[in-house]
Structure 1
Amino acid sequence: MRSILDAHVAEPGLAVVEIAAADDATAFAIQQLLAEHCATARADRTTRDPGGSGVRLRCFIDLRQESDS
């Protein structure tokens, strides 16, 4: 995964959430739960670490805005 940039967390209310899960379905379900409560720049794919188990997904959260859901 790419580095988290200062701009992603430059102001109060901005956050980067990295989800580690056993599978894609679980990671996307967690992302959906977050998106129901706050504005979320959703990821459309997960990543896998070579030789590792499970998947990772990173999404960007803005607590200052309400969810579109």
Structure 2
Amino acid sequence: MDPINEIHVSEPGLIVVDVAAADDATAKAFQRVLAERWATATAEKTTQDVGQPGVRLRCYVDLRQAIDS
């Protein structure tokens, strides 16, 4: 994964979530759960590190912006 850009955590309530999962479906399901609760900049695709098991996904969450259910 790329280094975290300082702007993405410049204020309280902003977080960067790096997900490691067995497969795309699991990583995206976790991302959907986050997006159902808070404003989330979602990733369209996962990445896979050569020679490493599973996939990775990064998304950005703003805990200050809760999604009303």
Q: Same fold (TM over 0.5)?
A: yes
Aligned residue in 2 for 1:54? 54
Does the CA contact (< 8 Å) of 1:47 and 1:57 recur in 2? yes
Q: TM-score, normalised by structure 2?
A: 0.93
The answer to which of 15-24 and 59-68 deviates more is 59-68
Give the letter aligned to residue 45 of structure 2: R
Aligned residue in 1 for 2:22? 22
Q: Distance in 2 between matches of 1:26 and 1:34?
A: 13
Q: Secondary structure at the match of 1:63?
A: strand
Give the letter aligned to residue 36 of structure 1: E
Does the CA contact (< 8 Å) of 1:18 and 1:58 recur in 2? yes
Sequence identity (%): 62
Q: Distance in 1 between matches of 2:67 and 2:35?
A: 6
Q: Give 1:1-69 correspondences, 5 Å limit.
A: 1-67=1-67
What CA RMSD, in Å, does the superposition of the two structures yield over aligned residues?
1.4
Q: Extract unaligned runs of 5+ from structure 1.
A: none
When you count strand as a share of all residues, which structure comes out higher? 2
1:68 deviates by 7.9
Aligned length in residues: 69
Moved over 2 A (4+): 66-69
Does the CA contact (< 8 Å) of 1:37 and 1:67 recur in 2? yes
Does the CA contact (< 8 Å) of 1:34 and 1:40 recur in 2? yes
